[in-house]
């Protein structure tokens, strides 16, 4: 008889700075560690709504769901300031330090309450996640589990800047302490003992001391997760009711289109062609500030709210539907979570990382979109 899965002390602590990581945490916690704690880092505007959603979910595995300040909190504070120039920069730095101190205090309080021996994170580069891992390392030498954060897991960092990492290491160790570690690759801090990945053999990290275990997509096909998806649709897109779609266009942040030729015109033409035959939905990146930066409204498709994660939008696609996107983690998730879908790459962005991602996705069965 084989050895069963390793059992961990309950409860665990999860930290998520994206909706994708929060969903992975929800699925894993339901399967392995009910009664755990979840910390949502407010890196996107809808994080507070996600806190309420996960707290009120009838199937929630989390005994505590906390929200700590993040990049969206800092941006909100900056918009509220009427300072300019150097005064504005100094004020932003002061606010950033103050908010981070608040985040550390909440993480420390949760650590003292839960005493977790396992801390599961989607981004161990963040100070909040490294701090939680550092605290748990007092109970277990390597308490960390890295949760697949998407394309960076398989392609590496989009911006390799060794000199910047050295400066970052020096400054942040002076600010935070010796536990801080500046990382070239996400998921590789000294605290991480294992990684949960959609495609373990393809990970950039091959350090033999870290285990790489496959994420089970069936973990996210349960009725409980379907109810969470339903609740999210009611929260973020109540006007959509029970609508179903035949095609979904998922867009990365529009900064990736800077070197592209008329991406708005090309996308509108595509939507008009698709809309003549299908029910089409479009979803922008969750960190977009404008509601419709490429002016796609009126091109025959329904715009979905930015805050609705792509992974939940898949639940409203009919079997055999089409997903189109641009060199993004969302396309990889579609390929993994819904193998029945036809997934296509728009191929508009020409940045080096986008082109690298296009090749990787093509090898996973993501075909070029026919323009």
> In the CATH scheme, what is the homologous superfamily, with its name and number, of domain 237-368?
Glycogen Phosphorylase B; (3.40.50.2000)
Residue 9 pLDDT? 54
The total number of residues written for the chain in this structure = 371
Query: What letter would DSSP give residue 248?
Result: E
pLDDT computed for residue 90 by the predictor: 79
3-state helix, strand, coil split of the chain in percent (to 5) is: 45, 15, 40
| Sequence-ordered strand ranges (E) for the chain | 13-16, 36-42, 62-69, 119-121, 144-147, 192-197, 211-214, 245-250, 280-283, 302-304, 317-325, 342-345, 367-368
Q: Taking a C-beta distance cutoff of 8 angstroms, is the pair 345, 362 a contact?
A: yes
- Is 316:281 a contact under the CB 8 Å cutoff? yes
pTM: 0.90
Supply the pLDDT for residue 228: 93
User: In this structure, are residues 116 and 134 in contact, taking their beta carbons and an 8 Å threshold?
Assistant: no
13-220 and 237-368 share one CATH topology?
yes
Q: Residue 11: what pLDDT?
A: 86
Q: What does the alpha-carbon distance between residue 294 and residue 136 come to, in Å, rounded to a whole number?
A: 45
pLDDT of amino acid 80: 74
Domain spans of the chain? Answer: 13-220, 237-368
* Per-residue pLDDT at 8: 47
CATH topology of domain 13-220: Rossmann fold (3.40.50)
| C-alpha dihedral (322, 325, 327, 329), degrees to nearest 10 | -80
Question: Which two tokens mark 268?
Answer: 């509108």
The owner of tokens 């396309």 is: 331
Backbone angles phi, psi at 172, to 5 degrees: -75, -30
Task: Give the per-residue pLDDT at 93.
Answer: 83
Report residues of the chain scoring pLDDT below 70. 1-10, 83, 158-162, 241, 259, 371
Q: What secondary structure does DSSP assign to 323-348, as a single string? A: EEESS-HHHHHHHHH-TTSEEEE---
DSSP character string of 267-308: HHHHHHHHHTTS-EEEE--TT-SSS-TT--TTSSSEEEPTTS
pLDDT, residue 2, reads: 41
pLDDT score recorded for residue 30: 94
Contact 49, 134 (CB under 8 A): no
Q: State residue 1's pLDDT score.
A: 39
What pLDDT score was predicted for residue 160? Answer: 61
For CA atoms 329, 214, 340, 233, give the dihedral sign. Answer: negative
Angle at 158 between CA 152 and CA 161, to 5 degrees: 125
């Amino acid at each position: 008889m084989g050895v069963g899965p390793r059992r961990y002390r309950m409860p665990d602590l999860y930290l998520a700075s994206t909706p994708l990581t929060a969903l992975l945490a929800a699925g894993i916690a339901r399967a392995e560690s009910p009664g755990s704690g979840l910390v949502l880092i407010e890196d996107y505007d809808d994080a507070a709504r996600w806190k309420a959603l996960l707290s009120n979910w009838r199937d929630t595995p989390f005994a505590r769901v906390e929200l700590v300040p993040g990049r969206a909190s800092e941006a909100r504070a900056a918009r509220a300031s009427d300072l300019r120039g150097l005064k504005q920069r100094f004020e932003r730095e002061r606010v950033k330090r103050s908010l981070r101190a608040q985040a550390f205090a909440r993480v420390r309080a949760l650590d003292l309450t839960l005493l977790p021996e396992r801390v599961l994170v989607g981004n161990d580069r963040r100070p909040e996640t490294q701090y939680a891992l550092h605290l748990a390392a007092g109970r277990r030498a390597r308490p960390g589990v890295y949760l697949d954060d998407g394309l960076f897991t398989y392609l590496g960092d989009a911006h390799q800047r060794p000199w910047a990492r050295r400066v970052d290491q020096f400054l942040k160790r002076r600010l935070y302490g010796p536990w801080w570690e500046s990382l070239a690759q996400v998921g590789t801090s000294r605290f991480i003992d294992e990684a949960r990945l959609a495609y373990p053999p393809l990970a950039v990290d091959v350090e033999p001391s870290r285990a790489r275990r496959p994420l089970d997509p069936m973990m996210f096909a349960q009725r409980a997760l379907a109810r969470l998806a339903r609740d999210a649709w009611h929260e973020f897109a109540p006007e959509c009711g029970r609508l179903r779609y035949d095609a979904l266009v998922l867009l990365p942040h529009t900064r990736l289109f800077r070197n592209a030729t008329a991406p708005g015109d090309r996308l509108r033409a595509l939507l008009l062609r698709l809309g003549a035959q299908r029910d089409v939905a479009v979803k922008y990146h969750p960190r977009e500030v404008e509601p419709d930066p490429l002016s796609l409204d009126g091109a025959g498709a329904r715009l979905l709210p930015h805050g609705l994660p792509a992974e939940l939008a898949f639940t409203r696609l009919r079997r055999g539907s089409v997903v189109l996107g641009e060199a993004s983690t969302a396309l990889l998730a579609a390929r993994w979570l819904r193998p029945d879908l036809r997934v296509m790459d728009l191929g508009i962005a020409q940045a080096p990382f986008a082109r690298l991602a296009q090749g990787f996705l093509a090898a996973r069965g993501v075909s070029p979109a026919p323009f």
